Amino acid sequence: MADAVYRNTPAQVDLDLWAGDSVGVPVLVKENTVAFDLSGVSLACIRQTAQGEVIEDLVVTVDVTDAEAGEATIYVEGTGNYTDGFVGVWDWQVTDDDDWTRTICRGKVTITADVSRPS
């Protein structure tokens, strides 16, 4: 489980993915040393650059395992066929019941081209 320590700025969590595969990345989110309550609405996105358009609609969802303990799994489903690979960025925001939004994690996304893929 990756520790994502939030200190008024998003934690750096890089994703290293294999094209066409689905993956779940377990994270433990803390604010300094205290578990971060992840109850709320999550939004996560992958782009080529922070200002760029989404180059492919990816399904990125966050399944909160234990919200009060700061445990979650970030799921990325089937990243398509990147025959030349891909390097981009991602982040994850949580908005609580008081409409307070925080970007929890951010990082680089590297997708390695796969060898076996549908023809």
pLDDT given for residue 119 in this prediction:
67
- State the total domains in the chain: 1
Does residue 119 lie in a domain region?
Answer: no
Q: What is the pTM of this model?
A: 0.78
Does residue 117 lie in a domain region?
Answer: no
Q: What span, in angstroms and rounded, lies between the C-alpha atoms of 11 and 26?
A: 14
pLDDT given for residue 50 in this prediction:
92
CA distances from 100 to 11, 21, 26, 28, 39 (A): 18, 33, 24, 20, 12
Q: Are the C-beta atoms of residues 96 and 1 closer than 8 Å to each other?
A: no
What is the extent of the structural domain holding 83? Answer: 2-112
CATH number of the domain at 22, please.
2.60.40.10
Q: What span, in angstroms and rounded, lies between the C-alpha atoms of 62 and 101?
A: 15
Does residue 39 lie in a domain region?
Answer: yes
| Alpha carbons within 13 A on the beta-carbon side of 117 | 14
pLDDT in tens, the chain (119 residues): 666 666 678 888 898 888 888 888 888 888 777 877 787 888 888 888 999 987 665 556 677 777 777 788 888 876 666 777 889 998 888 888 899 898 988 999 998 888 877 66
pLDDT given for residue 78 in this prediction:
66
